[in-house]
Amino acid sequence: MSRSKHDNAADRRIERRLERISRKQNFHQLLLLVILQTNQTIRNIMATAKEAIEAYLVADTELKTRLNTGLENVAEDEKRILKALEDINNNGGNTWTPEDQVKLDGAIGTLRASVEKVEALASAIEDAPAPPPVV
């Protein structure tokens, strides 16, 4: 993550102040500048951590949205397959009709598509974003 120009300028100002303090100057001034430099470093670390967390949250939300949509699509496929098989089972007779074959072919096609969707979901889970490292 890159630091802002403002952060870099603040660091340079603090470093210049440190260089100007001679041994004869007040120890408190030196201590204050060290504290200011430490404070700036902490701010930089916090900004970097915030950026990493925000990027993770965006990626995580996108993944959850893709998974939810995919699961809804698979559930719809399962309903269509079940309906086709029930229609075939309840055709009113013991005779296999051309309509039954069309329904079975449709159910098989839907099942194949559903398998591909589930495989895509599994792949998306494997590609899930890693949480940012602890700073």
pLDDT, tens digit only, all 135 positions of the chain:
456 777 788 888 887 777 776 655 677 777 888 999 999 999 999 999 899 899 999 988 998 998 888 888 888 999 999 998 888 888 776 788 888 889 899 999 999 999 998 988 888 887 788 887 765
pLDDT at position 25, please?
65
What value, to the nearest 5°, has the Cα angle with vertex 15 and ends 9 and 17? 105
Range list of H helices, the chain: 5-20, 27-89, 98-126
Domain boundaries, the chain: 5-126
> Hey, CA dihedral for 85, 90, 96, 97, is it positive or negative?
negative
Integer Cα distance of 19 and 41 in angstroms: 18
What per-residue confidence (pLDDT) applies to 42?
A: 94
Sign of CA dihedral 27, 28, 31, 33: negative
Spatial separation of the C-alpha atoms in residues 30 and 120, rounded to whole Å: 60
The token pair at 91 is 């055709």
> CA gyration radius for the chain?
32
The whole-angstrom separation of Cα 87 and Cα 99 is 10
The pLDDT, as a whole number, for residue 35 is: 92
Report the pLDDT value the prediction gives residue 3, as an integer from 0 to 100: 63
Q: What's the whole-model pTM score?
A: 0.58
Query: Using an 8 Å Cβ cutoff, are 3 and 43 in contact?
Result: no
